[in-house]
């Protein structure tokens, strides 16, 4: 069992100093745990190289956004500047959590400007959504109706599930009508859900016809 803290706050010991054991709050706030950075002299919690968090974050950004990368993708300068201006604790947290940072590294590794299609291929819509939003906000990527993209992907999946060309054509025509119906507006979550429900209902009807040996072209009303 870990020894209790001696700082008076209780809880788990996060740091040990000459004068006792300290909780996490004390470690983050007590002056005895801070030292001047060897590079910029900012007083902070230092790492093994005796660098403050701001210098460590700056080094991470310099390693990703090199001069050659920014020549290939000048728009990424906005991302670098945004992260450089952010709280260094945030940058270090993004790096530590991994997923978003790895995505940024993949984007930086491209030899041309990143596109929405690139992001689509780098992960699931949910896993790339935060980075995508950042790139759109910084005008690295143009805005895109993500709900419409999701509905289109669902339509492709439903089309692929239909074995007969006539049925595929019928569903494709319905999907085009859906798009025309929504052309003047940006999809909301509820609108996208409704469109997916309609597509699934029609696809289910077509598959039911197939089970009975019919297609949309050969089926008859009774």
Q: Are residues 130 and 153 in the same domain?
A: no
CA separation, residue 46 to residues 50, 89, 92, 195, 210 (Å): 5, 12, 13, 53, 68
Q: Are residues 9 and 78 in the same domain?
A: no
End-of-domain residue from the set 88, 103, 137: 137
Give me the number of domains the chain comprises: 3
| Per-residue pLDDT at 33 | 78
Q: Are residues 69 and 27 in the same domain?
A: no
**What is the percent of the chain with per-residue pLDDT over 70, rounded to a whole number?**
91
- pLDDT digits over 99-135, tens only? 999 999 999 999 999 999 999 999 998 899 999 999 9
* Distance of alpha carbon 81 from alpha carbon 79, whole angstroms: 5
Q: What range does the domain containing 180 cover?
A: 146-211
| Per-residue pLDDT at 216 | 87
Flag whether 11 is in a domain: yes
Flag whether 216 is in a domain: no
Nearest to 186 by CA among 153, 155, 158, 149: 149
| Per-residue pLDDT at 6 | 63
* Distance of alpha carbon 110 from alpha carbon 141, whole angstroms: 14
Q: Are residues 124 and 153 in the same domain?
A: no
Flag whether 40 is in a domain: no
Q: Are residues 109 and 89 in the same domain?
A: yes
The DSSP bridge pattern shows strands 15-17 and 20-22 to be antiparallel
Flag whether 48 is in a domain: no
Question: Which regions in the chain score pLDDT beneath 70?
Answer: 1-11, 14-19, 221-222
pTM for this prediction: 0.73
| Per-residue pLDDT at 84 | 94
| Per-residue pLDDT at 4 | 61
| Per-residue pLDDT at 20 | 72
Q: Are residues 103 and 176 in the same domain?
A: no
Instruction: Kindly state the DSSP code that residue 143 receives in the 8-state scheme.
Output: -
């Amino acid at each position: 069992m870990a020894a209790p803290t001696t700082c008076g706050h209780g809880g788990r010991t996060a740091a040990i100093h000459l004068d006792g054991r300290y909780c996490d709050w004390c470690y983050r706030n007590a002056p005895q745990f801070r030292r001047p950075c060897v590079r910029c002299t900012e007083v902070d919690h230092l790492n093994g190289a005796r660098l403050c968090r701001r210098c460590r974050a700056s080094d991470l950004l310099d390693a990703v956004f090199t001069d050659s990368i920014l020549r290939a993708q000048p728009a990424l300068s906005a991302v670098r500047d945004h992260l450089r201006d952010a709280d260094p604790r945030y940058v270090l947290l993004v790096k530590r959590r991994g997923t978003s940072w790895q995505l940024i590294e993949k984007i930086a590794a491209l030899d041309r400007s990143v596109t929405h299609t690139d992001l689509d291929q780098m992960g699931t819509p949910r896993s790339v959504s935060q980075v995508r939003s950042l790139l759109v906000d910084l005008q690295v990527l143009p805005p895109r109706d993500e709900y419409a993209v999701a509905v289109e992907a669902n339509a492709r999946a439903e089309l692929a599930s239909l074995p007969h060309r006539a049925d595929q054509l019928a569903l494709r025509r319905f999907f085009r009508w859906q798009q025309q119906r929504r052309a003047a507006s940006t999809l909301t979550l509820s609108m996208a859900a409704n469109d997916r429900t309609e597509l699934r209902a029609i696809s289910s009807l077509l598959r039911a016809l197939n089970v009975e040996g019919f297609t949309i072209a050969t089926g008859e009303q009774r």
